[in-house]
A and B are shown apart, each in its own frame.
Chain A
Amino acid sequence: MAGREPENVGTLVSPGSEVLGPGHSYGSVTDKISSIVLTRGIGNKYKIGFAMAVMLLLLLNFGITVLLAEGVGIWGINIPVGWGFAITNFVWWIGIGHAGTLISAFLLLMRQKWRTSINRFAEAMTLFAVACAGTFPLLHMGRPWLFYWLLPYPDTMGVWPQFRSPLVWDVFAVSTYASVSLLFWYVGLIPDLATLRDRATKNFKKVIYGVFALGWRGSARHWKRYEMAGLLLAGLATPLVVSVHTVVSFDFTAAIVPGWHSTIFPPYFVAGAIYSGFAMVVALAVPLRKYYGLEDFLTIRHLDNMGKMMLATGMIVAYSYVMETFMAFYSGNKFDIFMIMNRMTGPYALVYWSLIAVNLVIPQLLWSSRVRRNPLYLFLLSFSVQTGMWLERYMIIVSSLNRDFIPSSWGMYYPTRWDWIIFVGTIGLFFTLFYLFIRFLPMISIFEMRELVHKTAEEGGHK
Chain B
Amino acid sequence: MIQRQSTYGLMAEFLSAEELLEASKRTNEAGYQKVDAFSPFPIEGLAEAIGFERTRLPIIVFCGGLLGCCGGFFLQWWPNVIGYPMNIGGKPLDSWPAFIPITFELTILFASLSATFGMLALNLLPAPYHPVFNLERFALATKDRFFLLIEAEDPKFDPEQTRQFLKELNPREVSEVES
Decide if A240 touches B108 in the complex (CB within 8 Å).
yes
CB within 8 Å for A195 and B142 given contacts A164-B95, A215-B129, A228-B58: yes
Decide if A217 touches B40 in the complex (CB within 8 Å).
no
Q: How far is the CB of B133 from chain A (nearest CB, A)?
A: 7
Task: Give every chain B residue within 8 A of A226 (Cβ-Cβ).
Answer: 42, 119, 123
Chain A residue total in the interface (Cβ 8 A)? 67
Q: Mark A427-451, 1 if CB is under 8 A from B, else 0.
A: 0000000000000000000011011
Task: Give every chain A residue within 8 A of B119 (Cβ-Cβ).
Answer: 187, 225-226, 228-229
Answer whether residue B4 sits at the interface, using C-beta atoms and an 8 A cutoff.
no
Q: Mark B29-60, 1 if CB is under 8 A from A, else 0.
A: 00000001111111100110110100101100
Answer whether residue A198 sits at the interface, using C-beta atoms and an 8 A cutoff.
yes
Assembly CA distance A440 to B165 (angstroms): 43
Select one of A10, A162, A232, A243 contacting B115, CB under 8 A.
A232
Decide if B15 touches A11 in the complex (CB within 8 Å).
yes
Q: Which of B41, B46, B142 has the most CB of A within 10 A?
A: B142
Q: Mark B94-131, 1 if CB is under 8 A from A, else 0.
A: 01001101101110110111011011101101111110
Tally of contacts, chain A with chain B, CB under 8 A: 199
Q: Which of A1-24 contact B (CB under 8 A)?
A: 1, 7-8, 10-12
* Closest partner residue, chain B, to A195 (CB atom): B142
CB within 8 Å for A163 and B76 given contacts A198-B143, A218-B142, A224-B47: yes
Assembly CA distance A400 to B136 (angstroms): 66
Decide if B101 touches A214 in the complex (CB within 8 Å).
no
Answer whether residue B75 sits at the interface, using C-beta atoms and an 8 A cutoff.
yes
* Closest partner residue, chain B, to A197 (CB atom): B142
Decide if B55 touches A224 in the complex (CB within 8 Å).
yes
Select one of A195, A236, A450 contacting B112, CB under 8 A.
A236
Task: Give every chain A residue within 8 A of B159 (Cβ-Cβ).
Answer: none
Assembly CA distance A247 to B145 (angstroms): 47
Decide if B143 touches A30 in the complex (CB within 8 Å).
yes
Answer whether residue B141 sits at the interface, using C-beta atoms and an 8 A cutoff.
yes
Q: How far is the CB of B77 from chain A (nearest CB, A)?
A: 9
Task: Give every chain B residue within 8 A of A194 (Cβ-Cβ).
Answer: 142
Q: How far is the CB of A165 from chain B (nearest CB, A)?
A: 8
Select one of A152, A172, A187, A220 contacting B79, CB under 8 A.
A152
Q: Mark A202-234, 1 if CB is under 8 A from B, else 0.
A: 000000001100111111111111111100110
Decide if B115 touches A233 in the complex (CB within 8 Å).
yes
Q: How far is the CB of A397 from chain B (nearest CB, A)?
A: 21
CB within 8 Å for A227 and B80 given contacts A168-B102, A198-B139: no
Q: How far is the CB of A453 from chain B (nearest CB, A)?
A: 9
Answer whether residue B17 sits at the interface, using C-beta atoms and an 8 A cutoff.
yes
Assembly CA distance A220 to B91 (angstroms): 55
Task: Give every chain B residue within 8 A of A158 (Cβ-Cβ).
Answer: 84
Answer whether residue B83 sits at the interface, using C-beta atoms and an 8 A cutoff.
yes
Assembly CA distance A58 to B142 (angstroms): 39
Task: Give every chain A residue within 8 A of B47 (Cβ-Cβ).
Answer: 220-221, 223-224
CB within 8 Å for A220 and B55 given contacts A163-B76, A168-B102, A180-B108: no
Q: Mark A124-155, 1 if CB is under 8 A from B, else 0.
A: 00000000000000000000000000001000
Q: How far is the CB of A117 from chain B (nearest CB, A)?
A: 14
B residues sitting closer than 8 Å to A (CB atoms) are 15-17, 24, 36-43, 46-47, 49-50, 52, 55, 57-58, 61, 65, 75-76, 79-80, 83-84, 88, 91, 95, 98-99, 101-102, 104-106, 108-109, 111-113, 115-116, 118-120, 122-123, 125-130, 132-133, 136, 138-145, 172
